[in-house]
């Protein structure tokens, strides 16, 4: 309520900025596009759009799960492990037993169920035992990755079951002679449709459902949420179960897209996704964040990566660039929010 009224009372410029700095991100993306476009005119092509969309696809779905967790005041570093576990396990299962081999959607269903199960591990430790989220998800990351490599397999699998194989070459749009990485063909996978659908669903969930409002409430202040009547433990279980499901689906998308099931992938690249969510205006202290901001954050990171390639910067610079971008993003956020300290001060002063 107070957020709504404060948005309305703001001057027009601030309203344009958006509740989570979405306006700033749009401006940043536009400026980056113009700058890169001036240096290399081939940037302005359908190929770039397709390239950035293709590269954002899986991170978009991962980011939705991370966003939910971060809004609730937690942090998740296990999503990449869950994703690759689910994706790789489905390929192994389909190749060994033939179950779900003809139809790709069965594979995605299994991946979602695996993700749900692994997400429940997090839910049990966080909601049940009330342990710190970073430490729990670090632990489950180790368990899940170790279990994948030890029990499921540690080899790269090039053979795909027919259903997923077909899906991996099912393109929505194809652009000839695209800009990215010289000549060649840029394609956009049909998987962009479910990815966008998931973003819309998460947005609706966060905005219009009791659970969604509860996620914001818990992130704002768990004790107040409890006293207001939100079932805190129940909502936390939903949060981590849902984050698991989304990670499972995203992992399956990744495995489908790259057409080479490699169990060593994804884990270690978590920061790209967390950075995107934080850049998108979600607060690490909880209670703040939006789907639109997160989508822009994911797009910004993908755009920067492909621009670096386009400008001829060696790919070894990408990691440092994302790190720097994250630090700039959180600095801007910390400065505009005044930091956590002010909040503590207010509390302390009201105390007798």
Q: Tell me which residues touch other proteins (CB under 8 A).
A: 75, 125, 129-132, 134-136, 138-147, 149-150, 154, 221-223, 232, 268, 271, 274-275, 278, 284-285, 314, 316-324, 326-327, 330-331, 334-335, 338-341, 344, 347-348, 351
Q: Whole-number minimum distance, CB 35 to other proteins, in Å? A: 21
Nearer to other proteins, 125 or 253 (CB): 125
For residues 52 and 325, which CB has a smaller minimum distance to other proteins in the complex? 325
Q: How far apart (Å, rounded) are the C-alpha atoms in residues 33 and 16?
A: 20
DSSP lists the bridge partners of residue 261 as 157
Cβ closer to other proteins: 10 or 319?
Answer: 319
CB of 200 to other proteins, least distance (A): 28
Alpha carbons 280 and 252: distance in angstroms, whole number: 24
Residue 171 or 285: the one with the smaller Cβ distance to other proteins is: 285
Closer to other proteins by Cβ: residue 10 or 227:
227
Choice between 193 and 334, CB closer to other proteins = 334
Give 230-284 as a DSSP string: --HHHHHHHHHHHHHHHHHHHHHHHHHHHTSB-TTSSTT-HHHHHHHHHHTT--T
> Residue 65 CB, nearest distance to other proteins (Å)?
18
Task: Give the shortest CB-101-to-other proteins separation in angstroms.
Answer: 27
CA 154/CA 88 separation, integer angstroms: 10
Q: How many CA atoms lie within 13 A of 268 on its CB side?
A: 6
CB of 345 to other proteins, least distance (A): 8
Closest CA to 291 of 192, 193, 200, 217: 200
Burial category of 213 from C-beta neighbours within 10 Å (exposed 0-12, middle 13-18, buried 19 and up): middle
Nearer residue to other proteins within complex by CB, 133 or 189 = 133
CB of 11 to other proteins, least distance (A): 26
Residue with tokens 């790190």: 323
Q: Where are the alpha helices (DSSP H) in the chain?
A: 2-9, 12-17, 22-39, 46-71, 79-97, 104-123, 133-147, 162-168, 192-208, 210-220, 222-228, 232-258, 270-279, 291-310, 318-337, 339-350
Give the sign of the dihedral formed by CA 335, CA 340, CA 343, CA 344: negative
Q: In the complex, what is the shortest distance from the CB of residue 34 to other proteins, in angstroms, rounded to a whole number?
A: 26
């Amino acid at each position: 309520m107070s957020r709504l009224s404060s948005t309305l009372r703001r001057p027009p410029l601030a309203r344009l900025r958006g509740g989570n700095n979405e306006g700033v991100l749009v401006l940043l993306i536009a400026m980056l596009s113009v700058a890169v476009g001036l240096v290399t005119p081939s940037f302005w092509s359908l190929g770039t759009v397709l390239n950035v969309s293709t590269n954002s696809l899986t991170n978009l779905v991962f980011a939705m799960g991370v966003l939910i967790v971060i809004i609730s005041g937690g942090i998740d570093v296990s999503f990449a492990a869950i994703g690759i576990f689910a994706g790789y396990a489905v390929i192994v299962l389909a190749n060994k037993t033939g179950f779900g081999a003809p139809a790709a959607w069965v594979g995605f269903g299994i991946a979602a169920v695996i993700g749900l199960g692994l997400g429940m591990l997090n839910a049990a430790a966080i909601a049940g035992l009330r342990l710190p989220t970073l430490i729990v998800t670090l632990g489950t990351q180790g368990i899940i990755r170790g279990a994948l490599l030890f029990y499921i397999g540690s080899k790269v699998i090039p053979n795909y079951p027919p259903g997923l194989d077909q899906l991996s070459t099912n393109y929505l749009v194809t652009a000839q002679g695209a800009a990215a990485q010289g000549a060649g063909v840029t394609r956009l996978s049909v998987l962009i449709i479910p990815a966008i659908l998931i973003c819309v669903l998460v947005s609706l969930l966060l905005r219009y459902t009791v659970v969604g409002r509860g996620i914001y409430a818990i992130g704002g202040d768990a004790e107040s949420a409890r006293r207001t009547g939100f079932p805190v433990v129940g909502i936390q279980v939903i949060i981590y179960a849902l984050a698991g499901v989304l990670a499972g689906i995203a992992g399956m998308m990744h495995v489908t897209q790259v057409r080479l099931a490699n169990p060593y992938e994804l884990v270690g690249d978590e920061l790209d996704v967390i950075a995107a969510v934080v850049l998108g205006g979600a607060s690490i202290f909880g209670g703040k964040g939006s789907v639109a901001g997160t989508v822009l954050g994911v797009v910004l990171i993908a755009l920067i990566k492909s621009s670096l390639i386009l400008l001829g910067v060696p790919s070894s610079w990408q990691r440092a660039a994302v790190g720097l971008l994250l630090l700039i993003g959180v600095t801007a956020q910390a400065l505009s929010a005044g930091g956590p300290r002010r909040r503590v001060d207010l509390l302390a002063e009201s105390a007798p």
